Structure 1
Amino acid sequence: MKHLALAALLAAMQAAPATAHDFGFAGILSSTNMEEMPEITLSVGKPLADGPITLKSGTGYELEITSDGTGELGLEGAGFFRAIWINEIVINDLEVRPFGIESVEFDDAGTMEIEFIAIKPGRYVLRIPGSTGESQRVEITIQ
């Protein structure tokens, strides 16, 4: 009987989700759990991204948003920003660790990096506020 209980315990441990120690010392923020994400570009009359973006829940990403300065452009997506945990936002080598955001805006050319963990599965949209064109939005799916 003890052997069956031990076998069941071992099977359950193997089927259990990964723990923070499985990812390394930094847990889910370790480099082994980080993946690249396609860049988003803010430019008047140009698409935000090459196509839809798919992310994995529990995986870390760095989103690079670049504005070419052709206009004062923002990016909104409260649903998406609520479905992720933001570790930091880097602007001009200054790190910000916010509780949450709903949108960002660029008055001039520049780059912003948002490091985050995808959390809540679903389909989300990031878009230029007030725009109606399909190329002025990008669909992001968290699986």
Structure 2
Amino acid sequence: MKKSTAFAALLAMAAPVAVLADDDDKPGFGMAGLLSAGNKEDLPPVILSAGMPLADAPWELKSGTYYEFEIQGDGSQELALIGPEFFRAIWIDEIVVEGLEIRPLGLDSIEFDEAGEMEIGFVAIKPGSYYLKVPGSTGETQRLEITIK
């Protein structure tokens, strides 16, 4: 009796392995859930240029959605963006600068000393109202309002 139980247990463990090894036609594990292509949206770029608006319109984001956007600096002036509350309400997947991928644990601000471009990929997490803005500025065009629903 014990031999047949042990044999049945071994057979049960080996069967799925044999089925998986023989079934090359089925797709393997891939990206799913939050990082799947169906859950990704591109946002309009943020433009860092002296005296120009950061964006055309406020962003309305959905919690749990993966977003990517570019920040483009034209080098007309040293300009930074701050938004610590926003950066703590999202999970940053990566920041790409000239092909270099950075995966930070967090972010407080960024600064462009010269012309350049970066791309940020993130998942919106915490619902609320946030902003990105040029530090020290008071104009509405130097502030991007962001809502996470």
Q: Which residue of 2 aligns with 1:44?
A: 50
After superposition, the C-alpha distances for 1:88-132 in whole angstroms (9 at most, x for unaligned) are: 000010000000000000011111101000000000010001111
Mapped to 2, the partners of 1:26 and 1:66 lie a distance apart of 30
| Structure 2 counterpart of 1:120, from 122, 126, 142 | 126
Gaps of 5+ in 2: 1-29
Q: What TM-score results when the alignment is normalised by the length of structure 1?
A: 0.82
Q: CA deviation at 1:26?
A: 3.3
Larger Rg: 2
Map of 1:1-143 to 2, 5 A cutoff? 25-143=31-149
Q: CA deviation at 1:39?
A: 0.9
Q: CA deviation at 1:45?
A: 0.3
- The RMSD of aligned alpha carbons is 0.9
Residue type matched to 2:65 in 1? T
The alignment partner of 1:124 has SS state of strand
The alignment partner of 1:98 has SS state of coil
Query: How many correspondences in the alignment?
Result: 120
Mapped to 1, the partners of 2:146 and 2:43 lie a distance apart of 11
Gaps of 5+ in 1: 1-23
Mapped to 1, the partners of 2:31 and 2:46 lie a distance apart of 31
Large movers: runs of 4+ above 6 Å: none
After superposition, the C-alpha distances for 1:3-39 in whole angstroms (9 at most, x for unaligned) are: xxxxxxxxxxxxxxxxxxxxx6332111111011111
The alignment partner of 1:111 has SS state of strand
Residue type matched to 2:50 in 1? V
Percentage identity across aligned positions?
A: 62
Q: Which residue of 1 aligns with 2:18?
A: none
